[in-house]
Structure 1
């Protein structure tokens, strides 16, 4: 077997056997959870009349709002395409057809062909409702079409994804005036971690589509990595969401803001890229600072679970939902700690994976109808029982499950 533990552990062999049995348990539960989760979306979310997907779904899958949110349209196309490409039991014509139909809806309705800006939300039949002055709708549009290109081999999706990447990099690194944000006198220039981090995700996605693109985007990758690393502050004790572009802490609530789940996600993204770059120093920073330190800061020691937001000085964050427990930080932590264990064989990371897994499968998972509840109160009680809305769709849960099922299988030596 491929499980390894430090030699100096007391009763090392029983410890190893326990880890192995738990890993088998985790893998089997995740495989069943992935099947159940995808059955939920395949059964309830497809719009067979106009194309695309419904994401506003009740606990049992009924549509409660027909608005189509473009982040989630793109994410669902990506999820179906990645499952089709990488998980053998989902390599089925109906999965590919659903991904292709979603991709065609994106290309027909979501992007403004004159500006290349993508709408945030649409009516059911594709009429624009809202546009954001950010790059995230465009990012998920790109991710969807890039992965769909892998699945179909159709060059039009690859061409569209690469053209969108050119626009995104222009907006971020050259001139953002086309995004439509007014320049007000009191506004500071802020390095928001979400921007370089999502571009790193895009680069990793495009290199997955075509490995030869790594050299094309290498300088952009290094710039983004430096921007993300500047968010490690206070002698490595915190990861802040917002800093100045010269790497300094900003004043006020925004400057002290921590989002543990987001920092943990950045950690596993950086770990993935560190492997591409063969950079062990970057890997250590990603695991120790972004994943482990952020988890220790973010774990609720009284009730369990990961806080949504925190203030670096221990004050109450300005966000009213700061102490809620949301589904996606727990998805990110599960990916991050199993990846950290796989990379280092440090059993502490396996124990933290186990800790998050046990909490999540006690509180978030719906064994009856499938998928996860998204929003719990601090004590872990369900706050809202819908399965999808304007930000929660077919993405985080499925991505965690497919990635961690694969890593668990590799660790068990059962590929």
Structure 2
């Protein structure tokens, strides 16, 4: 099927504003204890009240971002403030490290073992500071960002369960999130610091994690960027690789670096060709570089965020390069995504499908899925196609 940019723009806009955001506005606010419920069933009913810091901060980011970039709706700012107040009071330990999860009342459940809690706190409070003008929010954002910089070489610190020295590996997740996070923080950072961090993260992503022969992205490599032939070393995470490539494209667009844009597009297309399920359609969750059985038992599931990030990357890649292969892949991924993930009866999107594309879990939110990838993907694709329609 052939798509018009104006039609796509309208589809993404209406789905975001009339379907997805209302679902979270209606169902996720915890007016009793603060923060947000993310464990929502198909109809939006709460089935667990634990609060996961990643998702609390991601929802704070979403509503702050919409307020900043789309419409100064007081209801959106109120929802953002509701989350920011809870997180500022409950989200960190005495040393300023962000917990992984809390109970409904905000009492800690899981220690601050994960650097990504701090990453999403920095993202969220940066956007919220812009929306609210609160100096304290700026301070929280910068403190969390400094935590990320301090811990990037040893993300789990004392909570790292691997034995030191035997198999030292570094993860793509750290530089890729730092690249995106730093752009989110640009208004709070000195330009020299920002450019240095962007230089370093792009260099690391595009050098250490890329297989030079296959043009694929490893999930884990040795500290010097070498391949290690083991479960972790052979792991290909298509969604992460593709998401990393649109982060790189975003930086390259800012710098008007055409060579880097095309390099990122090349790798994105390589990953899609490697990660696409030719039998049932959709993008695999995990794959082994050499075709061995993956360690992750959920390897063949089809996940919402993988497909949304691919749509963002393909729309961006096509907008920047006009390369036909980007548009062909966009339409292919669009058809699969829109046929399988949206819930036409109850709103929002399913998150987890089996390999055949059947709904595996009919939740709308849980421990990992919240108010982030769907609205962010819809917003970014809407903006991309709106610009493309205007410039056509």
TM-score, L = length of structure 2: 0.95
Decide whether the 8 Å contact of 2:115 with 2:156 is kept in 1. Answer: no
1:260 corresponds in structure 2 to: 238
Structural mapping, 1:399-414, within 5 Å: 399-413=376-390
Structure 1 unmatched ranges of 5 or more: 1-17
Q: Residue 368 of structure 1: CA displacement? A: 1.7
1:55 corresponds in structure 2 to: 38
2:115 corresponds in structure 1 to: 135
Structure 2 unmatched ranges of 5 or more: none
Q: Which of 141, 151, 157 is matched with 1:171 structurally?
A: 151
Q: Residue 57 of structure 1: CA displacement? A: 0.3
Rounded Cα–Cα distance in structure 2 between residues aligned with 1:357 and 1:132: 37
Rounded Cα–Cα distance in structure 2 between residues aligned with 1:176 and 1:121: 17
Rounded Cα–Cα distance in structure 2 between residues aligned with 1:177 and 1:40: 34
2:56 corresponds in structure 1 to: 73
1:238-270 alpha-carbon deviations (Å, 9 max, x no partner): 211011121210121111100001100000000
1:191 corresponds in structure 2 to: 170
Q: Residue 414 of structure 1: CA displacement? A: 7.8
Q: Which of 276, 296, 300 is matched with 2:273 structurally?
A: 296
Q: Residue 185 of structure 1: CA displacement? A: 4.4
Rounded Cα–Cα distance in structure 2 between residues aligned with 1:391 and 1:197: 18
Q: Which of 308, 311, 316 is matched with 1:334 structurally?
A: 311
1:58-86 alpha-carbon deviations (Å, 9 max, x no partner): 00000000001110000000000111111
1:278 corresponds in structure 2 to: 256
SS in 1 for 2:290: coil
Q: Residue 234 of structure 1: CA displacement? A: 4.4
Q: Which of 360, 379, 382 is matched with 2:356 structurally?
A: 379
Q: Residue 201 of structure 1: CA displacement? A: 1.4
Equivalent pairs counted in the alignment come to 390
Q: Which of 346, 368, 375 is matched with 1:398 structurally?
A: 375
Structural mapping, 1:292-331, within 5 Å: 292-331=269-308
TM-score, L = length of structure 1: 0.90
Rounded Cα–Cα distance in structure 1 between residues aligned with 2:164 and 2:223: 18
Rounded Cα–Cα distance in structure 2 between residues aligned with 1:314 and 1:56: 35
Q: Structure 1 residues 87 and 256, CA, compared in 2 at 3 Å: closer, same or farther? A: same
SS in 2 for 1:249: coil
Rounded Cα–Cα distance in structure 1 between residues aligned with 2:136 and 2:86: 14
Find runs of 4+ consecutive structure 1 residues off by over 3 angstroms: 175-180
Q: Please report the RMSD computed on the Cα atoms of aligned residues, expressed in angstroms.
A: 1.8
1:83 corresponds in structure 2 to: 66
2:141 corresponds in structure 1 to: 161
Decide whether the 8 Å contact of 1:256 with 1:312 is kept in 2. Answer: yes
Q: Residue 281 of structure 1: CA displacement? A: 2.4
Q: Structure 1 residues 187 and 132, CA, compared in 2 at 3 Å: closer, same or farther? A: farther
Rounded Cα–Cα distance in structure 2 between residues aligned with 1:149 and 1:351: 40
